[in-house]
């Protein structure tokens, strides 16, 4: 009965958009495993990180300009529900010795892999009890990290970054608060920029939503323009190493399909093994129409971690 109600709601409110699948369903294990990178693979699209990919990025470093894409980490920043970043500066320790050396350091208590500008590893998400390459939750999870798919396997990302400015395509600084970005939108934005994606690129979507960070954090977290499942499926076909955006969930929130909860996270991390990069600060890139650049991201090598807060840069 409840299911019927869901379906009716769906028919009324979320009528299919042309060119988009109406609703996404997680593929069964057999359909998605082994991954195209091999049955034992833990790196997914991270396998793109080869010298030729790096050199392609290096070609774009022409002026030496560095643009920071990461948010400052502090206890009052915007968080997904239930996450924290607590920082306690320890008492200054005066070391022995005639040189009167005092040392300072701080304790941080945080879901450090999933706060601020953050990079998602594959241990972060499941479809039921199954993760990327059909690793099973109860076989790879422990109380102190994952034995497979942890962020320590990723290494630094150095690749061509492409800003797909959907806000600019629509002629606005900021997309409407629950705007569902479609595959067509992405293609139109790229066409407007006269660009195409290449395998191994970092696809960075500008929604303009990031302008709310630190200004109206409550709204920033509650709703956001972002990708639909259909847009994510199209992006995944372009074979990027990662997909990023200036919002928290990459997915539009709420999803236009009321039965779905952030399918983009599953499409990227579980089905296709493509990393995500969230809460990016994209205002400088967008304002400067810097649509192509070298992206450098250095996830912390947290053993068994589901992700890492990061301080990525664009170099051009």
Q: According to CB under 8 A, which residues from 269 to 298 bind a second copy?
A: 296-298
CA distances from 198 to 54, 195, 314 (A): 13, 10, 18
Q: Bridge partners of 136?
A: 130
CB 46 within 8 A of CB 275: yes
Q: How far is the CB of 169 from a second copy (least distance, A)?
A: 28
Q: Name the one range near a second copy by CB under 8 A: 52-60, 210-218, 239-247, 283-291.
A: 52-60
Interaction between residue 55 and a second copy (CB under 8 A) = yes
* 275 neighbors 242 (Cβ within 8 angstroms): yes
How long a stretch of residues is the chain? 316
Q: Contacts with a second copy: how many residues (CB under 8 A)? A: 99
* Residue from 109, 168, 186, 161 nearest 312 by CA: 161
Scanning 107-115, 177-185, 220-228, 236-244 for contacts with a second copy by CB under 8 A, the matching segment is: 107-115
> Is residue 265 at the binding interface for a second copy, with CB under 8 A as the rule?
yes
- Per residue, the 3-state secondary structure of 229-289, as one string, reads HHHHHHHHHCCCCEEEECCCCCECECCCCCCCCCHHHHHHHHHHCCEEEECCCCHHHHHCC
> Binders of a second copy among 174-233, rule CB under 8 A?
none
Stretch that binds a second copy, among 33-41, 59-67, 218-226, 232-240 (CB under 8 A): 59-67
Q: 150: which residues sit within 8 A by CB, 6+ positions away?
A: 121, 123, 302, 303, 304, 305, 306
Beta carbon of residue 270, minimum distance to a second copy (angstroms, whole number): 9
Query: Is the separation of the CB atoms in 89 and 11 below 8 Å?
Result: no
Near a second copy by CB under 8 A: residue from 68, 173, 176, 216 = 68
Residues 293 and 315 sit within 8 Å (Cβ to Cβ):
yes
Region binding a second copy by CB under 8 A among candidate stretches 141-149, 185-193, 206-214, 232-240: 141-149
Q: Binding residue for a second copy (CB under 8 A) from 50, 219, 222, 237?
A: 50
Residue closer to a second copy (CB basis): 6 or 216: 6
**Of 16, 155, 214, 288, the one binding a second copy by CB under 8 A:** 155
User: Is 42 among the residues that bind a second copy (CB under 8 A)?
Assistant: no
Q: Residue 147, interface with a second copy (CB under 8 A)? A: no
Told to check if 307 binds a second copy by CB under 8 A, we report yes
């Amino acid at each position: 009965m409840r299911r019927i109600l869901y379906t009716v709601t769906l028919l009324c409110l979320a009528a299919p958009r042309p060119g988009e699948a109406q609703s996404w369903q997680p593929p069964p294990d057999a359909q998605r495993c082994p991954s195209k990178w091999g049955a034992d693979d833990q790196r997914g699209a991270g396998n793109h990180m080869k010298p030729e990919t790096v050199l392609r990025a290096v070609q774009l470093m022409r002026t030496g300009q560095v643009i920071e894409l990461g948010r400052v980490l502090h206890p009052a920043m915007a968080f997904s529900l239930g996450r924290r970043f607590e920082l306690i500066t320890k008492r200054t320790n005066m070391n022995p010795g005639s040189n009167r050396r005092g040392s300072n350091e701080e304790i941080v208590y945080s879901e450090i892999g999933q706060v601020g500008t953050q990079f998602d590893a594959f241990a972060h998400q499941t479809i039921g009890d199954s993760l990327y390459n059909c690793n099973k939750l109860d076989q790879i999870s422990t109380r102190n990290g994952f034995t497979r798919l942890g962020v320590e396997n990723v290494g630094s990302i150095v690749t061509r970054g492409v800003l797909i400015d959907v806000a600019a395509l629509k002629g606005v600084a900021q997309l409407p608060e629950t705007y569902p970005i479609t595959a067509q939108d992405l293609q139109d934005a790229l066409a407007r920029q006269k660009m195409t994606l290449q395998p191994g690129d970092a696809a960075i979507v500008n929604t303009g939503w990031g302008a709310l960070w630190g200004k109206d954090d409550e709204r920033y977290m509650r709703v956001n323009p972002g990708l639909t499942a259909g847009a994510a499926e199209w992006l995944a076909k372009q074979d990027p190493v990662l997909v990023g955006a200036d919002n928290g969930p990459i997915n539009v929130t709420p999803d236009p399909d009321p039965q779905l909860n952030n399918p983009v996270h599953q499409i990227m991390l579980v089905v296709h093994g493509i990393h995500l990069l969230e809460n990016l600060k994209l205002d400088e890139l967008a304002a400067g129409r810097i649509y192509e650049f070298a992206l450098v991201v250095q996830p912390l090598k947290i053993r068994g971690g589901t992700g890492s807060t990061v301080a990525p840069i664009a170099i051009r």
